[in-house]
Chain A
């Protein structure tokens, strides 16, 4: 059981760096969890259909909330890729919301070593909370300074970090 390598912490006040960290982290998480290929998408990307907003807070030397917006079918595909079944199979459909929550849980956990400002720091993490997301909220979401918008094999997802 080895400790993670230490590197210079990410400056949480640097919006562009935070957005890049979100992007890099979610790409790695999706590739490992569900063999998903993702690439950056522009802010002109349309809101996902039947979208949900999942949020998760962290507190330590830096504190904030990470939000993820994704469509229901993206959740189906995450679950189906992870389970090795079809996206319309009952098992994938029933674990669609779970897969989006777990993706955010993994992303936030992966980011903490990068955000830690001193060695040995412990963060307190909330559980991922899911809320409905209206299409009318998309424009404001994707204009956030820390937003990362991605195309996951045709499914749009977006993440942002809101500092506390």
Chain B
């Protein structure tokens, strides 16, 4: 059960995807859903995401798996290994959806999985569920 969201609180969200188009679509979905997310950070690969997390307080990471330089699985491992960021919410947003991959992600302790192609509603519901929101969204 989600807790009611305090309208005075805004959440910081990090979108990690090598596709600028996908980052734009997710960002647009967040803005259109009226989710108070400020700021929204972006990274084009897992390494950039890990670096950003060292310096910024992030409430939720929406992470692709198949990316150059460092993929989402390795980035998740590194985040979970760092005491200061290990508790950040991570949701994988990827088209890789074999049962084996889902099991692997569960073992990494990710909070959710959104399968590409996603609908705006799936993004919105996942964010609301993890960061809190009213129940009629």
Contact = CB atoms under 8 A, between A and B. Distances in A.
A and B held together in a complex? yes
Contacts of B20: 95, 98
Interface stretch (A62-70, A108-116, A139-147, A152-160): A108-116
Interface stretch (B1-9, B80-88, B89-97): B89-97
A125 interface: yes
Nearest to B102: A3
A102 B98 contact: no
Contact of A4 (B18, B67, B98, B104): B98
Contact of B99 (A79, A82, A101, A119): A119
A109 B21 contact: no
A16 interface: no
B99 A6 contact: yes
B34 interface: no
A2 B134 CA distance: 24
Pick from B18, B25, B98, B115 the residue with the most CB of A within 10 Å: B98
A105 B103 contact: no
A86 interface: no
Contact of B119 (A32, A99, A123): A32
A90 interface: no
A132 interface: no
B106 A120 contact: no
A106 B99 contact: no
What band does the interface of chain A fall in when counting residues whose beta carbon is under 8 Å from B?
35 or more
A113 B94 contact: no
A54 B112 CA distance: 30
Given A4-B97, A113-B98, A127-B68, A95 B104 contact: no
Interface in A20-46: 28-29, 32-33
Contacts of A95: 20-21, 24
A120 B103 contact: yes
A106 B95 contact: yes
A113 B66 CA distance: 16
Contacts of A116: 98-100
Contacts of B66: 105, 109, 125, 127
B21 to A, nearest CB: 5
Interface string B101-119: 1111110001011011111
A109 B102 contact: no
Across the A-B interface, the 5 shortest Cβ-Cβ residue pairs: A109-B95, A32-B117, A120-B100, A102-B19, A122-B100
25 contacts: A1-B105, A1-B113, A3-B99, A28-B117, A33-B116, A83-B24, A83-B28, A95-B20, A98-B21, A99-B21, A105-B116, A106-B116, A106-B117, A107-B95, A109-B95, A112-B97, A112-B98, A113-B98, A116-B99, A121-B100, A122-B101, A122-B104, A123-B98, A127-B67, A127-B68
